[in-house]
Each structure stands twice: as C-alpha cells, then as structure tokens.
C-alpha cells in the first residue's frame, strides 16, 4: 500500500534591476588677451610760443591728426600717437589683442538599483516503502520547484524594479548634470585664464618691440608738422622785415628752403 510522504523546501533570493544614465557637458569660453607698451617723449616744451602755436595749427590742418580734449591724436598700426598740448609731450601707446578660446568637456554617470526580497515554498514527495525516490531526492525536487516559482516571481517583478531604478536615476540626474556642468566650466575658466596670462606676456613683449618702431615713425610724423610750423614762423618773420619775392620749396631730402629778397 502506497503511503507517499510530502516534503517542503523554501527558497529565497534578492532580485535587483539597475538603470544607468550618462551625462556630459562641454564648456566653451572665449577671452580677450591684450598686451600694452607706452612711452611719453618730451617734444615741444623747448619751442617758442610762436613755433608751438604754429605747430599745433599744422597738426589741425593735417588730415592725419584729429583734435582731442587734450591735444591731437593720430592712429598708427596697433596703436595711437597723441600730442599733449599742456606739456608738449608725444605719448605713444601700442596695444595688441588676441582671442583665447578653450573647450573643456566633463562627463558623469548616474546609476540606481532597485531590489526586492522574494521567497517561495516548493513541494516534493517520496514513498519510503517503494523507495523509488529518497527523501533527499524529494527535497531536491521541492527546492527546484521553489526556485522555478522564484523565477516566475522575478520575471513578474522585473519591469517594475527597472522602472523604479529609472525613476531614481531621473530624480538624481539633475544634480549630476549641475555637478558636471560646474566642473567643466571651472576647468574651462582655469585653462582660459592660464592661456590668457601666457598670451598677454607674449603680446606685451611684441608691443614693446613694436613701440620701438612706432616711436621713430611718430617723431618723423610730428617732425613733418614741425617743419611746416617753422616754415610758417620764418616766412612771417621775413615778411615782417619787408621780404620780397619770397619763395619756399622742399627738396628731395625733405628740407624746407625759403628764398626772399630784402633790403640791407
């Protein structure tokens, strides 16, 4: 007579599903770098009042010079030359500029995991009289049945666990985006400032080299106006002394000649 016996085994497991998102931010920064060099040259402080007035009239009549609140000014490559009426100085300023552009990228990840503890009970049978299956074998079958039920439970809960993990990522991703953006912008600012500092040193060196060239050009430019001023003053003096048949001309070397007749 069969008298099967039932055995039960319980199985449990922790199931998990994870969701991960990547974030990235590129920070771009453009800065202007500049380098300057300047010098002030005494120019007309030793001129007589008449020559100084004539010199300033010559500047005002020269289309290359424009009047300012402090005197006259003309543009040169990469800068300007100013004549300061109050002191009679020439002031030369050279300024070189350049653009520094940098780009820094930073990335991050947000990962969340959702878990659930599940358990199930499986059943197996054996008959000690027939002995077709031992108790140990029956318990093994019971455990297998419990695990099959766990597999079904895990499959049923998997989508929900995945959605829970995804929602947690979406909840936290804003903070990670802000962190990545701040890190990228800080890196871009640091790199740009370092590059700008190095570039400005180079621009300043080049401006000083350029200043030496412009200084010669500026004195020649002002000297042309000064020549016209002396011409005006000398002609006026000659006319005042009764000069006749007065003639002025400039030779190939830029020297101004004045010819006139006057009674001894």
**pLDDT surpassing 80 at residue 41:** yes
Residue 1 has pLDDT above 50, yes or no: no
The pTM (predicted TM-score) of the whole model is: 0.65
Of 92, 93, 84, the C-alpha closest to 52 is: 84
> Which residues constitute the domain of residue 172?
1-226
Q: Which two tokens stand for residue 51?
A: 């020559």
Distances from the Cα of 183 to the Cαs of 20, 23, 106, in angstroms? 21, 12, 7
Judge whether 76 and 215 are in contact, CB under 8 Å.
no
The number of CA neighbours under 13 Å toward the Cβ of 98 is 17
> Is it the case that residue 252 has pLDDT exceeding 70?
no
Q: What is the pLDDT of residues 109-164, one digit of tens each?
A: 999 999 999 999 999 988 877 777 888 888 999 899 999 999 999 999 999 999 99
State pLDDT tens for residues 218-243. 877 777 777 777 776 666 666 666 65
pLDDT for 262 beyond 70: no
Token pair, residue 226, equals 């000064």
Q: Is residue 163 part of a domain?
A: yes
Q: Grade residue 189 by pLDDT with cuts at 50, 70 and 90.
A: very high
Q: Is residue 250 part of a domain?
A: no
Does any domain span residue 21?
yes
Residues in Cβ contact with 163 at an 8 Å cutoff, skipping those fewer than 6 apart: none
Number of structural domains in the chain: 1
In a domain, 176, yes or no: yes
> What Cα–Cα distance (Å) separates residue 51 from each residue in 60, 123, 138, 177, 254?
14, 122, 125, 71, 19
Residue 39 in any domain: the answer is yes
Residue 153 lies in a domain: yes
- Cα 9 from Cα 122, distance rounded (Å): 5
- In this prediction, residues 55-62 reach a mean pLDDT of 87
What is the average pLDDT score of the chain?
87
Q: Which whole-number Å values give the CA distances from 131 to 81, 111, 249, in the listed order?
A: 116, 53, 139
Those residues whose C-beta lies under 8 Å from the C-beta of residue 70, and which sit 6 or more positions away, are: 82, 84, 85, 86
Structural domain contains residue 257: no
Residue 180 has pLDDT above 70, yes or no: yes
Is position 254 within any domain?
no
């Amino acid at each position: 007579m069969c008298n099967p016996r039932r055995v039960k085994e319980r199985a449990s497991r922790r199931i998990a599903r994870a969701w991960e998102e990547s974030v990235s931010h590129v920070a771009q920064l453009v800065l202007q770098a500049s380098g300057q060099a300047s010098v002030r040259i005494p120019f007309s402080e030793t001129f007589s009042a008449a020559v100084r007035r004539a010199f300033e009239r010559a500047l005002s009549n020269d289309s290359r010079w424009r009047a300012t609140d402090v005197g006259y000014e003309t543009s040169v490559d990469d800068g300007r030359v100013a004549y300061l009426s109050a002191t009679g100085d020439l002031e030369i300023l050279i300024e070189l500029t350049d653009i520094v552009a940098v780009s820094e990228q930073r990335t991050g990840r947000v990962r969340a995991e959702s878990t659930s503890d599940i358990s199930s009970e499986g059943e197996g049978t054996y008959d000690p009289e027939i002995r077709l299956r031992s108790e140990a074998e029956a318990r093994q079958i019971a455990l297998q049945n419990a695990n099959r039920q766990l597999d079904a439970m895990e499959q049923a809960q998997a989508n929900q666990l995945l959605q829970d993990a995804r929602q947690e990522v979406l909840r936290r991703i804003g903070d990670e985006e802000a962190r990545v953006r701040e890190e990228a912008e800080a890196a871009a600012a640091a790199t740009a400032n370092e590059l700008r500092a190095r570039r400005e040193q180079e621009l300043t060196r080049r401006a000083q080299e350029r200043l030496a060239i412009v200084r010669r050009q500026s004195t020649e430019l002002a000297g042309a106006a000064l020549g016209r001023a002396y011409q005006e003053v000398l002609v006026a003096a000659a006319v005042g002394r009764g000069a006749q048949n007065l003639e002025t001309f400039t030779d190939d070397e830029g020297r101004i000649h004045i010819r006139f007749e006057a009674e001894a």
